[in-house]
Structures are given as C-alpha cells and as structure tokens.
Amino acid sequence: MFLNPAAQRLFGCGEGHGVPGDLTRFIPDWRKFKEARLLTGSVEIPQGSIIHGVKADGSPFAVRLWVHPLRDCEANQAAATHACLVMCPPDQEPGGSAQVETFRKSVLALFDMAPVPTWVTEGERIVFANRACMVLFGVSDLKEIVGKSLYELLHRASHGHVRQALSEALATDGCVQTLTERIERADGSHRDVFMAMAALPDHGRTTAQMAITDITTKTQEFEAMERSQKRMKALSTELVHAREEERRRIARELHDDLGQRLSALKMELASLVPTLRRRAQDERIVSLIGMVDETVESVRRMATELRPLMLDDLGLVPAIETLVRESERRMGIVIALDMDERLHAVNEPVAIATYRIVQEALTNVFRHAQATFAKVDIHVNDKTLRISVQDDGHGFSEQSIGKDGSQGLRGMRERAHLLGGQIQITPSELGGGAVTVCLPFTQAAEAAQDRTTTTLDNAGTFAFGLKGGG
C-alpha cells in the first residue's frame, strides 16, 4: 500500500514516503469490495460512493471513493489486487478523476503493446501480463497466463534460481536481479530467456515486475560456437599427435636404417686399409671414413631433433638431461638443470609437450638471447607440473608471441593450450623475461585408459622463463 501526501493528511497519519500495512486498516470494507470483484468490472457500488473510513487515531469518518483498477478489465477477468484509489471528503469532487482514468488507460496500453514480454507477480501468482507474453509462451489468450503461478510457466530446473532471485529483489529497494533461465511453452517446448526482475512500490514487499527476453537463438549460436571450438581443438590435438608420430617414424628410420647402412659402409672402408699398397690411397680411405663419421653424427643429431628415441626408450628425465647437455655443448654456455624425480611417472602427452617446450625455449636462447647462462627447473607441486627455463639474455615482450617469425613461441603456446595450459610472460629473476604456463601433472598409470588423446581436463601452471624473441 502506498499513500501520497494528500491521502496521508486525509487519514491523519502524517506525511512520508508510504504507510506500511493493509488498506483495510483505513477502509475496513475494502476486503469485502475485493471479494465482490470491485476491480474487475463487477462494481457493486457506483464510482464516487461515500464509504466509511477510519483515521490513524481510530476515529471514524466518511470519504468519497473512486477506484481505477491497474488492469484492463476487458483483457483480464481474473481478480485484480492493485488499483489506484482517488478519495476526498464527502462534500468535495476530485477534479482529476477523469484525468487519472485517462492516464491509467495510457499506462496500460503502453505496457500491453510493449515488444518485451512483461508480467507482474503478487507473491508467486501472475496478476498482469502484456500481449508479448502471449507470443513468447505460444498462447492465444492472456487467461492462460494471468492467474497462474509463475512456476507453472518455468522449467523445473529454473524454479530454485528464480525463487531465490525474486526473494532478493523483493527484500531490497531498487535491487534489479538478472538471470538466464528456461521457460515452458504451451506446446511443451522450451525456450531460453533472460529475466530482469525488480520490486514494485508495495510495502508488503510481495509485488514484482519481470521483463523477459527470448535468447534461445543466441544460446544455440553460442553452443554451436562452443562445439566448433571443441572440434577445432580436437583437430589440433590430432594434428599434433600425427606430427609427433610421423617424427617418431622418420627418426626411427634414420637411426635404424640409414644409421646402420652408414655404419656398414664405415666398416667396409676400414677393411680396405690393410690391403692398400700406396699411402695416398690409404689417406683417402681414412678421409672417407672421417666423412662417414661426420654423416653418422649428422644423422644422429637430426633423428634426435625429430624425435629423441631416448624419450620413448628411457623416459622424460634422461631425454631432458641429454637435451640440456647437448644444448650446453652446442651453445657454448653454462646451463643449470634441476628436475623432480616424479617426472619418471609423467604420461606421454605431457612428456612430449615438456620436452618440446624446453627444446624450443633453449633454441630461442641460442638464436636470440645472446645469453651466457641459462637455468632449467622442472618440478611437480600439487599435481601441477612447473617448468622454468631462464637465461641472462635480452628478454622479450608478450606481444612478440604474435609477431611474424615467432613460430617457436607460438608453437609453445599451442602445445600448452592443447593440454589445458596458458602462457604468461613475466620478468625473469635472471634479469630477462619469463614465460609461465600451467599443466596438470598426470601420471602414466592414470592416463593408461586414454592413449588416443592428448587433451587434459584440468588446467594448471606450466612455467618457464626465456630471453630473446623467436
């Protein structure tokens, strides 16, 4: 109930923003009038009738009353609970009664023709709904909406969310609650909707207005985009897996086939040395043996870069140790290495990603950082694999990842993302830059049931520091 200042003076309750309580406090017969459907067209007393009222101090008095229902009587025959009451002393006429009625009809028409479905609830019951609600719910008459519990029109899964939001909206003045839920149409189909609800001026805190927007199309588009992204991620995962398998095959052929043939060629050349009679021929054979040795070394290096067989045969720890020692020899710098013993149990997808990211990081150090010292740390904390590769070189910015020519950094980001991680570039403790990524630590035994995918479900932090772009 809300009384304007003039009504408050009429009932002798003082001026303020409103008066708590029920209207029957001042008009005892109001409940009887409601039950007689006074507000829906079945008015048993003429407008402007003199009725009995009670002032705030309990003294009786007579008042002339006009009732203007806040609903279109022709469009809705359900009992109304909200109305605008115009009152004055018995010997006066309120000159604004006609204007109030005109204003009431204008407001109703505005809400009724609004394109956004809107309804008003009293408690859980819908007491007003505009024509846009008919389209949203697929009904031909507002009687199929008005008078029902709002939960009859909501999907069961939305009942708890809406009940809580409605309670919060009614409990706080000016509070607008928004949520995304689902409704049930008359034909049994469902629609996803965005709801905005707020309390109406009602000192019993029971009346709320809800605006409803159909977002089913947007939801479907979003779900389609998510499915597309998942398919793209699955495709990327399969491409990475296929690439690693092809590298494994080529490396194995280089090592087993070409390597064995070169070894056999060396042995044949060496067997010719005792049979030679001229020193020039002997020196030429020795030179050829040296060339074969260099070729064998090149083949071994290419096979290792393609796919270190030690990673398959002995595991991640020996492979990383060999990678670091070879990089140290090739780069001519000092590289400190510290690894967690639990890395022996890491599963194959994480092991491959770890090796490749460290390999790419050290390659960047060699090509771009101009460093004299590097540090590699690989540890496991709370099922999170943490790798740090840092150097004392130039460093680089996060923007360099997206630049042309920075395929190494993009490759590291791709591998980390496919395994549920993210890269973050930060300053290094050695004075350069650092890259941070998170990966879950999954042991080989835990992944034995799913050997065909490299996608992990949980994200963690996989970190390394690095100098130089690339």
Of 31-35, 326-330, 384-388, the least confident = 31-35
Q: How confident is the model at residue 117 (pLDDT cuts 50, 70, 90)?
A: very high
3-state secondary structure 342-401: HHHHECHHHHHHHHHHHHHHHHHHHHHHCCCEEEEEEEEECCEEEEEEEECCCCCCHHHH
Mean pLDDT value across the chain: 76
Last residue of a domain, which of 194, 214, 234? 214
55 or 90, which is more confident: 55
Q: Between the CA of residue 295 and those of 257, 258, 260, 281, 282, what are the distances in Å?
A: 14, 10, 12, 21, 20
Q: How high is the pLDDT of residue 263?
A: 82
189 or 368, which is more confident: 189
Query: Do residues 412 and 393 both lie within one domain?
Result: yes
Query: Do residues 320 and 464 both lie within one domain?
Result: yes
C-alpha 270/C-alpha 257 separation (Å) is: 20
Q: How high is the pLDDT of residue 69?
A: 65
Query: Do residues 280 and 299 both lie within one domain?
Result: yes
- The identity of residue 7, as a single letter, is A
Query: Do residues 402 and 425 both lie within one domain?
Result: yes
Query: Do residues 198 and 296 both lie within one domain?
Result: no
Q: How high is the pLDDT of residue 75?
A: 42
Nearest alpha carbon to residue 154 among 136, 171, 142, 169: 136
Q: How confident is the model at residue 9 (pLDDT cuts 50, 70, 90)?
A: confident
As for how many domains the chain has, the answer is 4
Of 58-72, 120-134, 187-201, 448-462, the least confident = 448-462
Query: Do residues 448 and 362 both lie within one domain?
Result: yes
Task: Tell me which DSSP letter residue 276 carries.
Answer: -
DSSP states of 185-254: -TTS-EEEEEEEEEE-S-TTS-EEEEEEEE-HHHHHHHHHHHHHHHHHHHHHHHHHHHHHHHHHHHHHHI
Q: Between the CA of residue 142 and those of 135, 146, 148, 413, 437, what are the distances in Å?
A: 10, 6, 10, 56, 57
Q: How high is the pLDDT of residue 45?
A: 59
Which is it for strands 373-381 and 334-339: parallel, antiparallel or unpaired? parallel
Residue with tokens 């520091």: 465
CATH number at residue 427: 3.30.565.10
Q: Compute how many other C-beta atoms are within 10 angstroms of the C-beta atom of residue 238.
A: 14
Query: Do residues 345 and 447 both lie within one domain?
Result: yes
With H, G, I as helix, E, B as strand and everything else as coil, classify residue 402. helix
Q: To 5 degrees, how large is the angle CA 266–CA 267–CA 268?
A: 90
461 or 150, which is more confident: 150
3-state secondary structure 284-335: HHHHHHHHHHHHHHHHHHHHHHHCCHHHHHCCHHHHHHHHHHHHHHHHCCEE
CATH number at residue 21: 3.30.450
Query: Do residues 90 and 143 both lie within one domain?
Result: no
Q: How high is the pLDDT of residue 409?
A: 77
Is the pLDDT score of 145 beyond 60? yes
422 or 137, which is more confident: 137
Is the pLDDT score of 93 beyond 90? no
Go through the chain and tell me how many residues it has.
Answer: 470
C-alpha 150/C-alpha 124 separation (Å) is: 6
Q: How confident is the model at residue 196 (pLDDT cuts 50, 70, 90)?
A: very high
C-alpha 297/C-alpha 305 separation (Å) is: 12
Q: How confident is the model at residue 136 (pLDDT cuts 50, 70, 90)?
A: very high
Of 12-21, 34-43, 132-141, the least confident = 34-43
Query: Do residues 165 and 50 both lie within one domain?
Result: no
Is the pLDDT score of 138 beyond 80? yes
Query: Do residues 56 and 136 both lie within one domain?
Result: no
Q: How high is the pLDDT of residue 82?
A: 59
Residue with tokens 């409990």: 171
C-alpha 21/C-alpha 3 separation (Å) is: 11
Q: What are the beta bridge partners of residue 69?
A: 83
Full residue range of the structural domain in which residue 152 is found: 114-214
Q: How high is the pLDDT of residue 469?
A: 39
Last residue of a domain, which of 307, 324, 342? 307
Query: Do residues 195 and 163 both lie within one domain?
Result: yes
C-alpha 418/C-alpha 346 separation (Å) is: 17
Query: Do residues 383 and 409 both lie within one domain?
Result: yes
C-alpha 416/C-alpha 385 separation (Å) is: 12
Per-residue pLDDT of 344-387, as tens digits, reads 878 888 888 888 888 888 888 787 777 888 888 888 887 788 88
C-alpha 217/C-alpha 233 separation (Å) is: 24
Is the pLDDT score of 174 beyond 60? yes
CATH number at residue 189: 3.30.450.20
Per-residue pLDDT of 202-213, as tens digits, reads 656 788 889 999
Output phi, psi for 129, to 5 deg.
Answer: -150, 140
Output phi, psi for 96, to 5 deg.
Answer: -95, 10
- The whole model's pTM is what? 0.49
Last residue of a domain, which of 307, 327, 358? 307
